[in-house]
Structure 1
C-alpha cells in the first residue's frame, strides 16, 4: 500500500466517522498560520482520453470546485494574500482556520469558470499571471507542448537521446511528461531552442482554441473588478533558477510593471513558475525581494506558520483533479499530514 493510498483511506475514514471537523478544530487551535491552496485550471474536460491539452493542469471540474469553495466558506476563514501580509507585517495573528486560494499561470477559465463560483461563495483569491501571455494567440509553452505531443501524426519523438512512442494517448501523455521534465532542467535559452526543435520534429504548429487559452485583457480586468487580486507569475514562465541574473531581474520586474499597467492596481505578490525546491533558491528569492514583492509562493505542500514561514517561499497545498472531497477536507484540516 502506498503512502498516498494510506492517506486517502484515512481521509475517507475521517469523513465517514464524522471525525474530520473535530480534527480540524483541534489541529488549527494549536497552529497560528494559513493554508494556501494552489490551483491551475477549473474546467470540465469531458472524457480525459479526448482532452488534447495538459490534463495535469486541470485542478478541478466546476462541480468539484464549487463544492470545495462551499467547504471553505462553511468551515474555514477565507483570506486574501494581502490580508496575510498586512497582519503578519504588523505582528498580528490571522483568524483561526485561515485559508487562501491561489491560481497559477492565468488561464481564461480562471475568469469564465472559477470567478463566478468564487463570487457566489464570497471567496477572495489571487491569480498569478504570466504577463507575456495576456491577450496572446499562443498557448502557454508547456500546454502547447502537451497539445503538440497529444495531437501529432508522428509516431515517436526523441527526448534526451531516448526515443518515445506516440502510438496511443497513454504513451503520448508519458512522453509529454518526460519532455516537460527534461525542459525544466535546461538553462535558458536552451529550453526555448529545444521546444522549437521538437516542433520541427513532430510537425505541429501552435493551435489556440477555447479548450485552453490565456486570459484576455478584458478577462483580466473582469477578475480585478470581481475582487480578485493579481500577482506575478513572471513574463514568459521560465524556471527562474535556470535564468541568468539579467533575465531573472527582467522576468520579475517587467511582469510586475506590465500587470500594474494592465490592471491599474499594485502587484505585490509572486508565484515562482514550476515552484519546486530547485526552482526558487536563495538567489531567486533575493531577486524577488529586490524587485519589490512582499510575498512569494512556492509549489511545495505544507502549512505556513506566522512566526517561522519564509515569506518568499510560502507553501501551498496542490489541488489536483483526482483528489476526492474527503482528501480535500483532510488537506485543509491537517495540512502537514495530508499533503
Structure 2
C-alpha cells in the first residue's frame, strides 16, 4: 500500500507547474474589468434591496467564516481588508436579516435534535487572533450575535506568526529576490526569476508551499524566517489562554483547529491523529470543557482525515462554499467565506441561496 500524503505528494521540485501557481496567485489578486463590473452589480443589488435574506428551507442553515478584523481598512499592499467599521456593517446586516445562533445549536438542528430558525446562521472565526476578543467581541455583543472561535492551541500565548501572513510581511518589507534566495528552494528561485509583481510572487510562493508535505514547507519557511526575521505585529498576534477563557466567559464557543495548523492532507495519518488529540486534550485541560467542534486548517480534508476527525469531534467545518442542510455530512459542513464589503457578503448569501433553490428537487405533483 502506498504511503499516504507523502510519496504521492513528493515530486521533483523542477517539475512544479509554475504557470498554474502564478495563474492561481493572479486570480486571487488582480481584478479584471469583469470583476469590477460584478462588484458594481453586487453593490447595486445590495442598496436596491435585492440582497436581503431569503427564507432558507426547512432544516437549512448558513455558516460564515472569518479570520481576523483589523483597525485599518487596508493591508500591507494597500488592499482592502475587513476593518472594524465594515465589520460593524456586517453585524448590522446579519442581525437584521438572519437569526444568528451558535454553531453547536446549528449542528443540533442539522442532526435533528433541535428545531432550526428559518434563517439560522452561525459565525465562525478560524485561528484564534487577539483581535477576535478586542475588536470582534464588542461589535457582536452590541448586536446580540453569538460566534464560535476555532483555536490553534500550539499558537496560543506565543509570538509566532501564521506562516502565510509572515511571508506577506517578508515580501512587502524586503527585495523579492532576497526573500527567494533566503528560501534556498529551487522552485521559489524560479518563481522569483519570472519578473512578477511582489504581491503576485508572494501569493505564488504561498500556493506552492501549501502543496508540499508539511515538513518540507516548514523547513523552507524556517530558512526564510531565520534569514529575514520579522516580529509579529498586533494584527497577527494570537490570543493568550486567559484571553481564550475571557472569550468563553463572554459566551463565545471555543472549537478546535489542530495544535500547529498543518494542512492535514499533507500529513501521515498518525500525525493527523496526534494533532487532533493534542488540540482536543489541551482545550479540555485549559477550559475544563471537551470541544465537540473542529475546523480543518485551510479547509482541506479527505476520507482518511475525515474519519479520524469523527473519532474526536461531533462536527467539523470546511471552506467548501454552500448552504448546510440535513443532507450535509456533519463532519464536512460547508461554510461561506465572508468578503470585505457588506454588499458582497449580502450577494454571496443570496447567490448561495439561489444555487440551492435551483438544485432543490421539485416536489411530485
Could you state the TM-score of these two structures normalised by the residue count of structure 1?
Answer: 0.85
Q: Which of 187, 192, 197 pairs up with 1:164?
A: 192
The structure 2 residue matched to 1:208, chosen from 216, 232, 236, is 232
Structure 1 residue 287, shift from structure 2 partner: 0.8
Q: Does 1:288 align with 2:309?
A: yes
Aligned to 2:339: 320
Q: Show the counterpart of 2:43.
A: 12
Q: What is the CA distance between 1:262 and its match in structure 2? A: 1.8
Deviation, structure 1 residue 31: 5.4
- Match of 1:305, SS state, is coil
Change (3 A) 1:32 1:86: closer
- Where does 1:1-339 land on structure 2 (aligned, <5 Å)? 7-21=38-52, 24-25=53-54, 28-30=55-57, 32-45=59-72, 47-49=74-76, 58=81, 60-90=82-112, 92-153=114-175, 155-156=177-178, 157=180, 160=187, 161-164=189-192, 171-200=197-226, 203-275=227-299, 279-291=300-312, 293-306=313-326, 308-321=327-340, 324-337=341-354
CA contact (8 A) 1:165 1:175 kept: no
Question: Does structure 2 retain, via aligned residues, the 8 Å contact 1:43–1:62?
Answer: yes
For residue 242 of structure 1, report the CA deviation from its aligned partner: 0.5
| CA distance 1:165–1:45, change in 2 (3 Å) | farther
The answer to whether the Cα contact below 8 Å between 1:330 and 1:338 also exists between their aligned partners in 2 is no
State the Cα distance separating 1:310 from its structure 2 match. Answer: 1.6
SS at match of 1:48: coil
| C-alpha distance in 1 between matches for 2:33 and 2:301 | 29
RMSD: 2.6
Q: CA separation in 2, counterparts of 1:196 and 1:82?
A: 37
Aligned length: 319
Q: Give 1 or 2 for the bigger CA radius of gyration.
A: 2
Distance in 2 of aligned mates of 1:13 and 1:296 = 35
Alpha-carbon distance in 1 for matches of 2:193, 2:237? 27
Give the Cα separation in 1 of the matches to 2:157 and 2:57: 45
Change in 2 beyond 3 A, CA 1:68/1:211: closer
